[in-house]
Amino acid sequence: MPQTDDQRHNLRLPLELKKKLAHSAVDNGRSMNAEILARLEASFAPDTAREIENLLRGLSRLDEKDRYAALELLTKATKILSKV
């Protein structure tokens, strides 16, 4: 058996969760281990939509001049992104 730097960890999973992971692994063409790793990695990736949502909440705290400037920039960005 080849030696790797990967650490082993025993993990207890509720049966229903294990079944969901197994089905998802098959659907994605991955092993159970690869499916779990992919899902864990994704959970640490930045959530761009959530970051944008948090920034937009901050609009209400800006003064009128800055809020107007931010909305103009958002309008321009939206037009550019709609071309993609």
The amino acid at residue 26 is V
**Ramachandran sector of residue 31 (left: φ over 0; alpha: ψ -120 to 50; beta: rest):** beta
- Reply yes or no on whether the pLDDT at 1 is more than 70: no
- Separation of CA 47 from chain center: 4
Instruction: Convert the pLDDT of each residue in 43-82 to its tens digit.
Output: 888 888 888 888 888 888 999 999 999 989 989 998 998 8
Residue 15: which of 27, 23, 7 has the closest Cα? 23
Percent of the chain at pLDDT > 70 equals: 96
Instruction: Convert the pLDDT of each residue in 25-47 to its tens digit.
Output: 999 999 999 999 999 998 888 88
pLDDT of residue 36: 96
Output the CA angle 36-37-41, nearest 5 degrees. Answer: 120
Percent of the chain at pLDDT > 90 equals: 56
- Cβ atoms of 35 and 24 within 8 Å: the answer is yes
Q: Check: pTM over 0.75? Answer yes or no.
A: no
Supply the mean pLDDT for the chain: 90
